[in-house]
Amino acid sequence: MSVERIQPRLQVLSSPQLSEAQLTELLEIEKVCYPPQTRYRLATIRGFLTWEGSLLTRAYARDRLAGFQISNLISGQLITLDVRPEFQRMGIGSAILAKTLSVMRRRGLPLVQCEIAVHNEASIRLHERFGFQALGRIQGYYEDGSDALLMALLLPGGARGKPR
Ligand SMILES: CC(C)(COP(=O)(O)OP(=O)(O)OC[C@H]1O[C@@H](n2cnc3c(N)ncnc32)[C@H](O)[C@@H]1OP(=O)(O)O)[C@@H](O)C(=O)NCCC(=O)NCCS
């Protein structure tokens, strides 16, 4: 197993306006991270990024886009986290998630949540290391009929948002 660690250069954009080439770059990473039946399509990725509150965290290493995360600062939802296979297990997923969580904490979000495929040991372990807990299993969550774990993390000092 690789023990090499990389400190990526991190960039965070809220409500990002991406060019088609930049969107396609995200899709290319999505394609190498997931099988066809569970990966997001270009239109879906574009949709997530146009929602109010959308946040894009990108990690660059060795002059390449090594990974990214799409999340939402209003719902506290972590939508996707992708690290190119050749950059996995080097600390990049952790660096991206830490950056996203730091932005969410600063925004005063009380809770962050995500759905993770029940067999995705790598992602479940990564999130557990950040203190996420499994709240339950969502049956048939994915298009292929497989289940997801609903995982959540309380952010201490959160809930400073404006009352409605
Ligand atoms: C899940 C994913 C984002 C992790 O990114 P990463 O950059 O490899 O993660 P890190 O190197 O920061 O790993 C942090 C910890 O997570 C756990 N982990 C990561 N990959 C693992 C694996 N293949 N098996 C078991 N644990 C793993 C380990 O605890 C690891 O710490 P360690 O290396 O000190 O043991 C990456 O594997 C990926 O993109 N997978 C495909 C897409 C995906 O499943 N995304 C998550 C959707 S919810």
Q: The domain that contains 23 carries what CATH number?
A: 3.40.630.30
* pLDDT score recorded for residue 38: 83
Q: Report if residue 51 sits inside a domain.
A: yes
Instruction: Indicate the range of 78-87, 128-137, 143-152 predicted with least confidence.
Output: 143-152
Q: Report if residue 99 sits inside a domain.
A: yes
**Rounded CA gap, 23 and 16, in Å?**
10
CA atoms in the 13 A half-sphere facing the CB of 142: 20
Residue nearest to atom 19 of ligand 1 (CA): 122
Sign of CA dihedral 124, 76, 66, 28: positive
Q: Report if residue 161 sits inside a domain.
A: no
Which amino acid, one-letter code, is at 5? Answer: R
Q: What is the pTM assigned to this prediction?
A: 0.95
* pLDDT score recorded for residue 164: 44
Q: Quote the domain boundaries for residue 61.
A: 9-154
* pLDDT score recorded for residue 163: 45
Number of domains in the chain: 1
Q: Report if residue 140 sits inside a domain.
A: yes
Average pLDDT over residues 33-60: 95
Q: Report if residue 160 sits inside a domain.
A: no
**Rounded CA gap, 20 and 159, in Å?**
36
Q: Report if residue 162 sits inside a domain.
A: no
Q: Report if residue 2 sits inside a domain.
A: no
Instruction: Indicate the range of 10-14, 20-24, 38-42 predicted with least confidence.
Output: 38-42
For 58-82, how does the pLDDT look when each residue is reduced to its tens digit (9 = 90+)?
Answer: 999 999 999 999 999 999 999 999 9
- Is the pLDDT confidence value at 116 over 90? yes
Q: Report if residue 101 sits inside a domain.
A: yes
Ligand 1 site-directed mutation target among 1, 126, 128, most atoms within 8 Å of CB: 126
When pLDDT is cut at 50, 70 and 90, the band that residue 1 belongs to is low
Asked whether 93 lines ligand 1 (CB < 6 A), one says yes
